[in-house]
Every structure is written in structure tokens, then in C-alpha cells.
Amino acid sequence: MRDLLSKLDAIVTETALNPSDPVGDYKAKKKALLDLQMDPVIGNDPELAKAVQQRKADLEKEAKLKGVGEFHKSPSGKMTNMNPKDDDYEINYGKGAPK
């Protein structure tokens, strides 16, 4: 539990993407947040779950601002990081959606 809390604290307090490798840092932080989100201890603690969700939102926002994430304009005109090659892209945007 202590290890989990220290990992969460490091991710939540470390907000800026590493300027020397922003893409690698983004991917590492995104994976760490996903690992934390899937942890049953965090899932059962609303405060920790909310902190992870907030950090995920902050990370995505920063990545979008810096052009680090894999964002593109969706058929609906919104910026998204959903890859057109993903299986659920067609489910979300309809068959024959521009890729």
C-alpha cells in the first residue's frame, strides 16, 4: 500500500512532461496512471480514484497543448487521440468514417 501511495504521489506531483523526451515521458506516465487506475485498492478508494482521473485529464491536456499525444480531428470535428486503426473507431464514428 505504501508503495502504491508513493507511486501515485510521484505521478500526481510530477506534472510537466520531460522536455528531453516528451513522447516517452507521456507514454510512461500514461501507462503508470493506467496501472494505478486498474489497481483494486485505488478502485475502492474514491479519493485516490479521483486523483488518478484528475492527473490523467491533466496529462492529456498538457500532451495536447504540446502536440505530444496522437491527436487528430475526428469526423465529428473534435480533437481525439483515438487511432483510426483501433477496432472501436468505426463503432464511435460509423462505418466508412474518414481515416
pLDDT tens for residues 49-92?
888 888 888 888 888 787 776 666 666 776 676 666 665 666 66
How sure is the predictor about 11, in pLDDT bands with cuts at 50, 70 and 90?
Answer: low
Question: Is the pLDDT at 45 greater than 70, yes or no?
Answer: yes
Higher local confidence (pLDDT), 46 or 94: 46
| Calpha distance 19→3 (Å, rounded) | 27
Tell me how far apart the alpha carbons of residues 70 and 42 are, in angstroms, rounded to a whole number. 27
15 and 62 Cβ atoms separated by less than 8 Å: yes
Cα angle 75-79-85, degrees, rounded to a multiple of 5: 60
Question: Is 94 within 8 Å of 75 (Cβ atoms)?
Answer: yes
Confidence at 98, pLDDT banded by 50, 70, 90: low
69 near 60, Cβ under 8 Å? yes
Assess contact for 53 and 10: CB atoms under 8 A: no
